[in-house]
Structure 1
């Protein structure tokens, strides 16, 4: 059995507020055996996987960590909602600061990913995406873990290791992206061809991205202010 199974069955049980004794009884095994399954000490059979999936109303693929979707569905680009789609996830109450910062970041990301597409380098796109993904992961986990009662079973990385592991992975992604952008290979990832390196300037960015350029410039200014630089030096 893979390492995800113990974590996920523990998370599902705690989410339902079930004691180990109650869940074991419902699943027709002893509490001791369920404890071993949840700790990864023993491996279960396929029949128990199926029975557990039915019990928690999730797919076997989800129990085994093969998909993050509890129904077992796999996402395609078409399945993903637009970041600006209407819905409660996009509504902020009170301060306008979250909405402002979200727009600055989202609009700047539109530019970054369009430039990556134009650069036509799979390795650069992969490493930049990995770096940004890890940034979101780290900040989401910080917010999620602010309440110590929230079940950490959502995450595979232990709480005491996640900061170091995510920082290391992010550092590697950044190093690879820099290496590739400089035209050098990073392992099996090919360096960016010089002819594919985009010619950019504030003026060109403003022309190519009239809707998003001001967001990028404000983000740069905010970032450098946070870095202790008084003036960004970017002309709009």
Structure 2
């Protein structure tokens, strides 16, 4: 069985807010067997996969991790909305930049909408600074590919920039973690309204019908790379 199956099976039950006992009864199996399925200890048959898909109202492809979309849709670059109003002509003839640009841009719509709902200026500043530094660092790397490019547009030298960016982004992450934990930091306001950040895959689909498919695909792509580079997925 796909390695994602037990994770998604557990996620759907928790999002539905039901116990293993309730689900097992509805699916006609024992609670112990369902527990084994959710933990990945035992593999189930195709009939059970179909039954679970019907129970949770998702596709079998979603259950098996073959599609990040609950309905099992496989998206092409043309299916994704243009988060910047369709200005993509500069990438004509090259599919990957267009696709990745859409995934990132559309996902950022969700990130900043969540920040807006959170109403915490300190958190918004830290996340924004982290993202801007990542873009800046990427741009400098691209500029450095051609040795003829002039460095005069930058005030920080090549020797220092990578270390400074890494340090700044690590500081942003540390501050975000402290804000999330409710710790007081000088000049920063801890997060008080955690309910503003509550979400489920269902609510995300409903709240961001245009952009959530992009975020789902971005998550899937990033975790595939992390799993490959890290030698496999670890448990949360």
1:201 aligns with 2:191: no
Contact 1:183 1:194 in 2 (8 A): no
Which stretches in structure 2 are left out of the alignment for 5+ residues?
Answer: 1-81
Shift of 1:106: 0.4
Contact 1:221 1:231 in 2 (8 A): no
Match of 2:35 in 1: none
Residues 195 and 220 of structure 1: is their aligned pair in 2 closer, same or farther, counting only changes over 3 Å? closer
Q: List per-residue Cα deviations over 1:121-145 (Å, max 9, x = no partner).
A: 0000000000000000010000011
How far apart are the structure 1 equivalents of 2:206 and 2:86? 29
CA contact (8 A) 1:84 1:90 kept: no
- Cα deviation, residue 83, structure 1: 6.3
TM-score under structure 2 length normalisation:
0.59
Q: Is the 8 A contact 2:84 2:105 kept in 1?
A: no
Once the two structures are TM-superposed, the CA of residue 187 in structure 1 deviates from its matched residue by: 2.3
**Bigger shift: 187-196 or 110-119?**
187-196
The whole-number CA distance in structure 2 between the counterparts of 1:83 and 1:132 is 17
Q: TM-score, normalised by structure 1?
A: 0.59
Structure 2 counterpart of 1:38: none
Aligned pairs (5 A) from 1:80-99:
84-85=84-85, 90-99=89-98
Gaps of 5+ in 1: 1-81
Change in CA separation of 1:206 and 1:98 when aligned onto 2, cut-off 3 Å: same
Aligned pair in 2 of structure 1 residues 151, 210: CA closer, same or farther (>3 Å)?
same
Asked if the contact 1:183/1:192 (under 8 Å) is kept, the reply is: yes
Match of 1:111 in 2: 110
Aligned to 2:213: 214
Supply the distance in 2 between the matched residues of 1:136 and 1:123 (Cα, whole angstroms): 20
The answer on whether the counterparts of 2:103 and 2:217 sit within 8 Å (CA) in structure 1 is yes
1:185 CA drift (Å): 2.4
Q: Would you say 1:224 and 2:223 are equivalent positions?
A: yes
- Partner SS state of residue 197, structure 2: coil
Alignment of 1:9-20 (within 5 A): none
RMSD value over aligned CA atoms?
2.3
Change (3 A) 1:214 1:83: closer
Q: Aligned equivalents of 1:85 and 1:153: distance in 2? A: 32
For the residues of structure 2 that align with 1:213 and 1:127, how far apart are their CA atoms? 23
Alignment of structure 1 residues 154-193 onto 2, 5 Å:
154-193=153-192
Q: Is the 8 A contact 1:221 1:232 kept in 2?
A: no
The Cα shift of 1:85 comes to 4.5
Q: 1:217 to 1:85 in 2, by over 3 A?
A: closer
- Larger gyration radius, structure 1 or structure 2: 1
SS at match of 2:209: coil
1:131 alignment partner in structure 2: 130
Q: Is the 8 A contact 1:180 1:192 kept in 2?
A: yes
